[in-house]
Structure 1
Amino acid sequence: MTSLDIFLLLAFLSSLVSAHFSLQYPPARGDSFLPPASQWVYPCANINTTENRTAYPTDSFAIGVELHHNWTYMFVNLGLGTNGSSNLNISLTPSPLNVTGKGSLCLKELDIPADLRVENGLNATIQVVTVGESGSALYNCADITFSTNTTALNISAPDSENCPNTDAIRVEELTTATATSSTTNTTSSASASSSSSGERRARASLSAGVILLGALGISSLLIV
């Protein structure tokens, strides 16, 4: 293999890594960068066996990821049971998150739905999904066991060693907007410009939601 071939191969592999993301905490089910694993494969990057579980609090907790895109849409699902990845129907982010910036992101204090009974010792699977500008979804999963032990709460705390934050990253909930227009004959040019801008934002937000629904194929995603 020539030096040029090696350079091209390294550049190609680097581009693959930069187009993906890492689930840092809780530790991912496996290395989704190594074949036959692939983050393109639903639901857990083609990693179907569980070799490690992390003790996690029973009410709210944080999740740490490492992002390589300048921006991405992200949301988190939960599946209960030892084989939780077969039933990831509980959304911990009812509205998708619009994330801008690269680096470490700690999703702080994701709440378990109030009507969901989570008991000490219950196994579950966390699924983190990102969608970039191509509209394609990437998946990573982590397996956990809910625990009432205070140690689980401490190691899962936001901004701990397990869940650092890069200051430049910004996170906003993605929602649809309703554009309104004036019915009076005295609408100023500034008002007209604002209405037009609102309509564009509404269409963009709605289109993003449709892309997410179509690309991910997950019925638990809600856009409010």
Structure 2
Amino acid sequence: MLFLALVSALLVVVQSHVVITYPGWRGNNLISNGSGDGASGLGVDYTGSGLVYPYGMQWIYPCGGLPIASNRTNWPVNGGAVSLQPGWFTGHRNALIYINIGFGDVPSNYSSPLWPRFEIEGPSNNPYPGTICLPQVPVPSGYDIKPGDRATIQVVEAAVNGAAMYSCVDITFVADAKDANEVNETNCVNSTTIRFLESTLSTPTTQSNLTCPAASLTQSTVATVTASGGDALFVSSSVLVTTFMIIASVLC
């Protein structure tokens, strides 16, 4: 498994990281080297023999210390799946997840959210396997996106101590979802050991200022996408989107 293979390859144990398992990953930045004293407290430093990341590469904005990838991943122009593994190393039983996008070959910013912020709760504060998957993440409205355009999806995991970990995947938009990697039960899985927490979701108190997002996670969604007795459940886009529509109709 990817989880066991990468953990065994790491010589330095660092706190809290996130891996994008779909649609792709810019590269392995689950490393740390050097020391905080040697880098004078900097998150990244140059020692003459190369760059060092005493606190870990994933602490570095915007994409965890890695440059734009030469090989991009296809992603549907109308949006698609995003799956991630949040439980690498210690300190991630609870975490806030942000999924953003930056447009262009080299995005100037990542200020466009693809999905409302949500909180997860894992089974332990120790490292744990398992993934979460959003099978249909829509592209933000107001952008004229065409097949062939390029962008970068940024996943941010904020730990309970306030540290933010960054991981990215560089994409090329395609018109047909068939031109992207297939989404199935092997790469879009919501493990039953990881819960979506409703407490982080804000519900407007008045109808006058109510703006419903295209999709938001609630405990009702958790009931839909998890099942008892089994390690994980593949989530179909139709089930999840239907649930979101029901939630939106109730709130709005």
TM-score by length of 2: 0.58
Post-superposition offset of 1:59 = 1.0
Aligned to 2:239: none
Measure, in 2, the Cα distance between the counterparts of 1:125 and 1:154.
16
1:59 equivalent to 2:78? Answer yes
Counting only pairs closer than 5 Å after superposition, residues 1-224 of structure 1 correspond to structure 2 as: 13=11, 15-16=13-14, 19-34=16-31, 36=51, 38-68=57-87, 69-84=92-107, 86-93=108-115, 95-101=116-122, 102=128, 103-152=130-179, 155=182, 157=183, 159-172=184-197, 174-176=200-202
Higher-RCO chain (CA-CA 8 Å, sequence separation at least 6): 1
Post-superposition offset of 1:115 = 2.1
Post-superposition offset of 1:19 = 1.9
Structure 1 counterpart of 2:139, which letter?
Answer: I
RMSD between superposed Cα atoms in Å: 2.5
Deviations 1:40-71 (CA, angstroms, capped at 9, x unpaired): 00001111232221110111211111121222
Post-superposition offset of 1:13 = 4.7
Measure, in 1, the Cα distance between the counterparts of 2:12 and 2:204.
41
Structure 2 unaligned blocks of 5 or more: 1-7, 33-50, 123-127, 206-252
Measure, in 1, the Cα distance between the counterparts of 2:177 and 2:21.
21
Counterpart contact for 2:12–2:31, Cα < 8 Å: no
Counterpart contact for 1:29–1:51, Cα < 8 Å: no
Measure, in 2, the Cα distance between the counterparts of 1:57 and 1:160.
19
User: What is the percent sequence identity of the aligned residues?
Assistant: 30
Pick the structure with more helix per residue.
1
Deviations 1:157-201 (CA, angstroms, capped at 9, x unpaired): 3x442222212222246234689xxxxxxxxxxxxxxxxxxxxxx
Structure 1 unaligned blocks of 5 or more: 1-9, 180-224
May I ask how many residue pairs the two structures share in their alignment? 164
TM-score by length of 1: 0.65
Counterpart contact for 1:56–1:144, Cα < 8 Å: yes
Deviations 1:65-101 (CA, angstroms, capped at 9, x unpaired): 11212221001110111112x32121112x3111112
Measure, in 2, the Cα distance between the counterparts of 1:89 and 1:78.
7
Structure 1 counterpart of 2:187, which letter?
Answer: N
Give the structure with higher Rg (CA): 1
